[in-house]
Chain A
Amino acid sequence: MTFQTVWFLLIAVLWIGYFVLEGFDFGVGMLLPTVSKNEADRRAVLTTLGPVWDGNEVWLLVAGGATFAAFPEWYATLFSGFYLPLFLILVALIVRGVAFEYRSKYGKAQWRQRWDIAIVISSALPALLWGVAFANIVRGVPLEKASSGSIEYVGGFFNLLNPYALLGGVVTLSVFYTHGAVFLALKTAGTIRERANSIALKAGLVAAVAAVAFLVWTNLMLAEVNSTVLILSVTVALLWVAGLAMNLKGREGWAFIFSAGTIATFVSTLFFALYPRVMPSSLGSQFDLTITNASSTDYTLKVMTVVAVVMTPLVLLYQGWTYWVFRKRVSASQIVNPERGILDELSHTLHL
Chain B
Amino acid sequence: MPHVFSTCGAEHARRIGIELVEQLRNGESDLMNSLDLARWQFAITTVYHFIFVPITIGLGFMVAGLQTAWYRNGNLKYLRATKFFGKLFLINFAIGVVTGIVQEFQFGMNWSSYSRFVGDIFGAPLAMEGLLAFFLESTFLGLWIFGWDRLPKKLHLASIWLASFGTLLSAYFILAANAWMQHPVGYILNETKGRAELTNIVKVLTQNTALATFTHTIAFAAFTSAAFMAGISALLIVRRKDIEMSRVTLKLGLIVTIISFVGVGVTGDINARIMTEQQPMKMAAAEALYSTTDSAPFSLLTVGSLDGSRSVFQIGLPSMLSFMSTGDFNGVVEGVNDLQAQYETQYGPGDYTPNIPLAYWSFRLMIGFGALGLLFALIALWQMRKGGLPSGRWFKPAMLSLPFLPLLANSFGWIFTETARQPWAVFGLIRTSDGVSQVVSAGAVLFTMIVFTILYGALAVIEFGLIRRVIHLGPLDEVDYADPQLGGSDSKQLVASY
Contact = CB atoms under 8 A, between A and B. Distances in A.
Interface of A: 43-44, 46-47, 49-52, 54-55, 57-58, 60-62, 64-73, 75-81, 83-84, 86-87, 90-91, 93-95, 97-98, 100-106, 146, 148-150, 152-154, 296-297, 299-300, 303-304, 307-308, 311-312, 315, 318-319, 322, 325-326, 330, 333-336, 342-343, 345, 347-352
A55 B142 contact: yes
Given A72-B119, A352-B148, 5 more contacts: A62-B135, A87-B448, A94-B459, A322-B139, A326-B146
Interface string B450-465: 0110010001001000
A106 to B, nearest CB: 8
B104 interface: yes
Size range of the interface on B? 35 or more
Interface in B138-156: 138-143, 145-148, 150-151
Contact of B145 (A50, A71, A75): A50
A55 B123 contact: no
Contacts of A102: 91, 94, 462, 466
Contact of A307 (B128, B135, B439, B495): B128
Contacts of A73: 116, 119
B142 A68 contact: no
Contact of A65 (B130, B145, B438, B448): B130
B194 to A, nearest CB: 7
Interface in B246-284: none
Contacts of B481: 351
A322 B142 contact: yes
A325 B147 contact: yes
A39 B130 CA distance: 35
B104 A65 contact: yes
A148 B439 CA distance: 12
Interface of B: 83, 86-87, 90-91, 94-95, 97-102, 104-105, 107-110, 112-113, 115-116, 118-124, 126-132, 134-136, 138-143, 145-148, 150-151, 194-195, 197-199, 201, 437-440, 444, 448, 451-452, 455, 459, 462, 466, 469-470, 473, 476-477, 479-481, 484, 492-498
Contacts of A97: 94, 97-98
A318 B444 CA distance: 41
B494 A78 contact: no
B134 A351 contact: no
B142 A54 contact: yes
Contacts of A84: 444
Contacts of A79: 105, 107-109, 112, 115
Nearest to A342: B87
B151 to A, nearest CB: 7
Given A148-B438, A307-B131, A348-B477, A297 B198 contact: yes
Contacts of A296: 119-120, 123, 197-198
A62 B127 contact: yes
B150 A325 contact: yes
Nearest to B142: A51
B119 A345 contact: no
